[in-house]
A and B are shown apart, each in its own frame.
Chain A
Amino acid sequence: MDDSKIIELYWERSENAIAETAKKYSNYCRRISYNILRNDEDAEECVNDTYLNAWNSMPPHRPNRLSTFLGKITRNLSLNKYKQYTAKKRGSGQTELVLSELEECIPGATDVEQAVDEIILTEALNRFLANQPQKKRIVFSQRYWYLMPIKEIAEQWSMSESQTKSMLFRIRNELKLHLEKEGITI
């Protein structure tokens, strides 16, 4: 079913909205959640909560792109759930690896700067991504938005894992420079 029709179902408060959403996007959302949590049951729970969140936010929302609207909800719910995990459970997924990679992008603090809020940081990220060649931008999003394992990204782009890692390494360095240039402290 067309996205616009699915959104219309939400606005009409029709229960089919959720069935149609699940039919079209359950795999997409499950994949996002599973990359973060590495746990089928918890991922399933996050996907179901995604539908509930979508139901509660449409109306008043009318998303331009249903896929990423749902994806963002799933990603946030999954990251929140991840926070509740014990150290032992955290070790198994991509999230811990991704977090330690992201640590490298964080600019050093100076005393004059104030830590920025998330929205300003997101805007700086968008400016950074807008100036990247498409391939690098996609690889960045696949790793740091979708938390895809390096191996999967490498396969999709017919690169070796080490090529993928060094590409990500370069992107992280550039991001750090970009954030520093914009005077951003996290």
Chain B
Amino acid sequence: MKFQDYRTVFQVSSLALVLLAASPALSLIVSFPRSGESFSELWLLGPNHMAENFPFNVQAGEENSLFLGVGNQLGNSAYYLVYVKFRNQTQPLPNSNSSEPSSLPSIHEFQFLLEDGDVWETPVTFEILDALVHGDSMVVESVSVNDRVFQVDCSSTWDSENKGFYFQLFFELWVYNSERSTFEFHDRFVGIWLNMTG
């Protein structure tokens, strides 16, 4: 090896050591972008805190329970809102293609804040309070969610294919956009079908 080669090795290793020594100060100037994707999670669990035994065959006056959870992987604290909605088979669900929420009014809501990487979970108990059958249709007049009663006046016609009166309880996730100072639909929803035949 020639002297010039030794000198190059010396210069390169000195430069590396200088950068290493300067890294505390460099960290004040250089910021590294967050690695990975930013997203939120929304889930439902059954009464045993497992993804099974979800309420399906329900009756008026019977209390049913679920667990609703949200996970924040957005990279910063987030302010969430979950709307609980109730519908029959023909009423609109959120539109995943156009990122639009369901136009139905909410029957309950949960607002909470989550630090990045944290999860929030809450028990949800619901009860169909008044349901009336008129010929081939059933009208659910009121539903209670976590002991709050809401008038829904939602009717469902007999589904001859699946043999039942079907309703759906679903949960929409919204997140607060601090730039626009408003909640926006976060393009996530989960729900369970309820068969009111029994």
Q: Tell me whether A and B are bound partners.
A: no
